[in-house]
Amino acid sequence: MKIRESYKCFTSLSILVLSALVISLITNTNVTAKINDTTIVERYGQLRVEGNKIVNHDGNPVALQGMSLSWSQWEAAPYYNYDCVKWLRDDWKCTVVRASMGIAKSKGGYLANKDRELSKIVKVIDACIDLGIYVIVDWHDHNAHEHESEAIEFFKEIATIYGDSPNIIYEIFNEPLLNVSWPNVIKPYAETVIEEIRSIDTNNIIIVGTPTWSQDVDKASNDPLSFSNIAYALHFYAATHKDFLRRKAEIALNNGIALFVSEFGTTEASGTGVIDYTESEKWFSFMDENNLSWCNWSIVDKDETSAALKSGASATGNWSSSDLTASGTFVRDKIISYSEIITSVEDQLNNIYVPKNFFLNQNYPNPFNPTTKISYGIPAFAGITNNRVVIKVYDVIGNEIATLVNELKPPGNYEIDFNADKLTSGIYYYTLSTGNFRETKKMILLK
């Protein structure tokens, strides 16, 4: 099967242009305008996984925010087009779009209509590459392990055509069902498919589904894959999945794996029922604190609460507020709130976004011996250009062990190294204090 040739964003010419841009940022006073003229892929470049974080080409933690298109073979089919993707980038400020290719033969998916469904995915990939945003190529299948050979054929074809583009993110198993085992089924499937992708594309991130509709990330973290640049899918619906699932996510992150929220809803797990704004806000705070990328479900005009669009909304974007559902309005506002970029020269050269809130991340690795990394973020406030930041380490009885940071810091994302080579094994605590914000986390030194 022949896929039409895609646009290629990162040619040698593109690299030269980016180099020229960096030089011009140092010499030109109109810094903000120049940064805002670049695309998110030009700013972040080739993404990779380091520890439990997704980072940009400079090694800075980043998080993408965007929308998932609904099942390709059903009501969402008309939205798989260039103009829709462009509207999501320009109006919604999405930095990632997820193309959810339905697979099941009985439901009219890829296994029944290969050329038709593939052509929809290609349209979205080409649009995202041309528009300079990231794209998740999703094998939207609850039984992917039963269609391993077809998945391999599909992903090898995508990798052959698009594997040299930094825009591409592969998602190889959407949501394994309740009783599908990680060690016996999902992991062996993932190992086989990843081997085939990596034989062609050695760099781009691959998202792997986890048990129980991509909720049991803790189980995957206890027996992770041995490949590089792997993230694990965490899916939630705010009105159904609450603190218990965030605790699973915390366990997984503490065990050192990277998570990607490739699908979530503001509603009940059925996609219907009420919008739970309180739990949605808790999830947004959790994702912010842990630099998790996310895509909301979904761009479709289906009559269900989780749909972003009302019935009859144009397939090519240009939606007014009256075209959006309550969930669509809520999520669009959230995505837009992430789109403001720091205007200082230093942070723009580092290609990082201003955090919305103060945060202190769990150290990585944890447990550690003898060094570990601690990352934190400082938001921007009107009229405040620097914040006094203090990070100290304490033992279990409250004795101060070390001061890691005590200085004025501009808004941004930061990471420091802590070396405990002179300390004994045990539990320690580290605290970030700045203004009225204070947060403490526990770390374990094992020698």
* Domain final position from 349, 375, 391: 349
Is residue 5 one of the residues assigned to a domain?
no
* 378 and 251 assigned to the same domain: no
* 318 and 377 assigned to the same domain: no
Is residue 85 one of the residues assigned to a domain?
yes
Q: 149 burial class (0-12, 13-18, 19+ CB within 10 angstroms)?
A: exposed
* 374 and 304 assigned to the same domain: no
* Domain final position from 299, 330, 349: 349
pLDDT of residue 353: 56
Is residue 2 one of the residues assigned to a domain?
no
Is residue 7 one of the residues assigned to a domain?
no
The one-character DSSP state at 415 is E
Residues in the chain: 447
Residue 271 Ramachandran class (φ > 0 left, ψ -120 to 50 alpha, else beta)? left
* 440 and 308 assigned to the same domain: no
* Domain final position from 305, 327, 349: 349
Is residue 3 one of the residues assigned to a domain?
no
Give the pLDDT confidence of 73-92 residue by residue, as tens digits: 999 999 999 999 999 999 99
* Number of domains, the chain: 2
* 323 and 174 assigned to the same domain: yes
The b-or-e profile of 353-389 (16+ CB within 10 A means b, else e) is: bbbbebbbbbbbbbebeeebbbbbbbbbeeeeeebeb
* Torsion 349-351-356-361 (CA) sign: negative
| Distance of alpha carbon 443 from the chain centroid | 25
CATH of the domain at 306: 3.20.20.80
CA distances from 95 to 11, 129, 246, 285 (A): 21, 11, 24, 19
Phi, then psi, of 262 in degrees rounded to 5: -80, -10
* 327 and 415 assigned to the same domain: no
* 372 and 302 assigned to the same domain: no
pLDDT of residue 30: 37
Residue 383 has pLDDT above 80, yes or no: no
Is residue 47 one of the residues assigned to a domain?
yes
Give the pLDDT confidence of 211-242 residue by residue, as tens digits: 999 999 999 999 999 999 999 999 999 999 99
* 342 and 363 assigned to the same domain: no
* 201 and 343 assigned to the same domain: yes
Is residue 1 one of the residues assigned to a domain?
no
Residue 276 has pLDDT above 50, yes or no: yes
Among 113-127, 295-309, 337-351, the range scoring the smallest mean pLDDT is 337-351
**CB neighbours of residue 256 within 10 Å:** 14
Give the pLDDT confidence of 387-446 residue by residue, as tens digits: 789 999 999 999 999 999 998 888 888 899 999 999 999 999 999 998 778 999 999 999
Catalytic residues: 175, 263
Give the pLDDT confidence of 339-378 residue by residue, as tens digits: 754 333 344 444 445 677 889 999 889 899 999 999 998 8
Task: Tell me the residue range of the domain where 211 lies.
Answer: 12-349
Give the pLDDT confidence of 31-64 residue by residue, as tens digits: 333 344 588 999 899 999 999 999 999 888 899 9
* 141 and 248 assigned to the same domain: yes
Is residue 6 one of the residues assigned to a domain?
no
* 336 and 431 assigned to the same domain: no
For residues 337 and 276, the model is more confident at 276
* 340 and 367 assigned to the same domain: no
CATH of the domain at 408: 2.60.40.1930
